[in-house]
């Protein structure tokens, strides 16, 4: 039950950070998807990554896919639709426990992360990604009956995982994705088996902005290089919850930070490291002013990274007062 709560919060955050339902009053800008029809064929690895990011926002399609991990093989039905500039994605598992992930809304301008529906496009700009990953092109292969080009995304340190992508040469959509650990071992494979009638949206997809919120007295003593805080919807969207949630991303991968007080009858996670599929969760309990605080750092990152983020989180009440007075 506790595990499900944190997983649900993380999936919701990943979805909302890409396609939030809440936007500020300044929203309204967007990207004209029809421009993609006139773009030349990408010539470099970075251009192919940018093309994939745009394709993940601009194409309407249905698909079937398989997901292979240490938990076994699952099959999925995928739907990606755009109406009036607003994106709606649905991923439904077709075997095992019935699970459906749905997300919709506008693209967060200049922000975002990789989410569970397996698009790697966190934003519309790949410019900063080569600072932390080496991008190289491989040869062409046939995936789901379509021509694809392989894109290798290799981390330049041991603070993040690597990716191997096969991008559809016609649309730029990722047909196959492999997640690799720091030793190059495969953690998960996600592959389309059928991509049905992808069509380019002929209008603009809308951009939205989320206002940054004061971080309060809890301050990370360390985060991996390249990871920045991503704005999330206002916590008032979840009334009655004492759970504080932050999200950090380097443009391709992300982790969530949860902080909450534990009451006498509150379910608690055991301190230490927990494995949740291909994700890990580092849990720390910290006494504070007569209460016990639970800190959870969760994501698809090397476990030692999550453990260090949790261990070095600091409570600085002066920082909280400063943020409140300046907001």
**Contact by Cβ (8 Å): 178, 186:** yes
Exposure string for 76-100, b = 16+ CB within 10 A, e = fewer: bebbbebeebbbebbbeeeeeeeee
**Whole-structure pTM over 0.85, yes or no?**
no
**Contact by Cβ (8 Å): 55, 36:** yes
Which strands form 146-155's sheet, in the order they lie side by side? Answer: 100-105, 86-93, 72-83, 59-69, 186-200, 174-180, 162-168, 146-155, 133-143
Question: Phi then psi for 36, rounded to 5 degrees?
Answer: -65, -30
CA distance 245 to 301: 18
Quick one: tokens of 54? 């745009």
CA distance 203 to 209: 20
pLDDT in tens, the chain (327 residues): 344 444 444 443 333 333 222 222 233 467 899 999 999 999 999 999 999 989 998 999 999 999 999 889 999 999 999 998 888 999 999 998 899 998 876 665 544 333 333 332 334 556 689 999 999 999 999 999 999 999 999 999 999 999 999 999 999 999 999 999 999 999 999 999 999 999 999 998 877 666 566 667 889 999 999 999 887 765 544 444 567 889 999 988 999 999 999 987 767 899 999 999 899 999 999 999 888 999 999 999 999 999 999 999 999 887 644 443 333
Q: Is 190 exposed, middle or buried (0-12, 13-18, 19+ CB in 10 A)?
A: buried
pLDDT at 121: 34
3-state helix, strand, coil split of the chain in percent (to 5) is: 20, 45, 35
pLDDT at 234: 58
User: ∠ CA(119), CA(255), CA(71), 5° rounding?
Assistant: 65
Q: Which domains does the chain have, with CATH numbers?
A: 2-206 (2.50.20.10), 213-326 (3.30.200.100)
pLDDT at 256: 95
pLDDT in tens, 50-65: 999 899 989 999 999 9
CA distance 165 to 144: 14
């Amino acid at each position: 039950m506790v595990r499900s709560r944190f997983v649900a919060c993380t999936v919701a955050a990943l979805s909302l950070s890409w396609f939030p339902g809440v936007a500020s009053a300044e929203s309204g800008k967007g990207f004209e998807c029809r421009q993609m029809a006139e773009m030349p064929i990408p010539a470099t690895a970075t251009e192919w990554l940018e093309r994939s990011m745009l394709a993940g926002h601009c194409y309407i399609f249905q698909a079937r896919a398989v997901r292979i991990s240490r938990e076994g093989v699952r099959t999925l039905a995928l739907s990606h639709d755009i109406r009036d500039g607003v994106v709606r994605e649905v991923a439904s598992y077709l075997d095992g426990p019935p699970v459906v992930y749905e997300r919709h809304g506008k693209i967060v301008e200049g922000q975002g992360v990789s989410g569970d529906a397996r698009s790697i496009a966190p934003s519309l700009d790949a410019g900063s990604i080569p600072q932390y990953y080496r991008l190289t092109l491989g040869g062409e292969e046939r995936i789901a009956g379509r021509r694809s080009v392989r894109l290798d995304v290799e981390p330049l340190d041991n603070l993040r995982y690597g990716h191997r992508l096969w991008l559809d040469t016609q649309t730029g959509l990722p047909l196959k994705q492999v997640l690799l650990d720091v030793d190059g071992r495969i953690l998960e494979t996600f592959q389309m088996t059928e991509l049905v009638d992808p069509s380019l949206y002929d209008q603009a997809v809308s951009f939205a902005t989320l206002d940054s919120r004061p971080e309060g007295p809890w301050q990370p003593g360390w985060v991996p290089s390249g990871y920045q805080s991503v704005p999330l919807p206002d916590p008032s969207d979840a009334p009655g919850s004492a759970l504080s949630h932050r999200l950090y991303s380097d443009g391709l991968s992300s982790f969530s930070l949860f902080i909450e007080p534990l009451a006498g009858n509150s379910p608690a996670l055991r301190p230490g490291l927990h494995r949740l599929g291909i994700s890990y969760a580092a849990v720390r309990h910290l006494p504070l002013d007569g209460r016990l605080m639970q800190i959870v750092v969760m994501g698809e990152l090397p476990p030692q990274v999550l453990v260090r983020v949790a261990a070095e989180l600091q409570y600085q009440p002066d920082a909280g007062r400063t943020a409140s007075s300046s907001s």
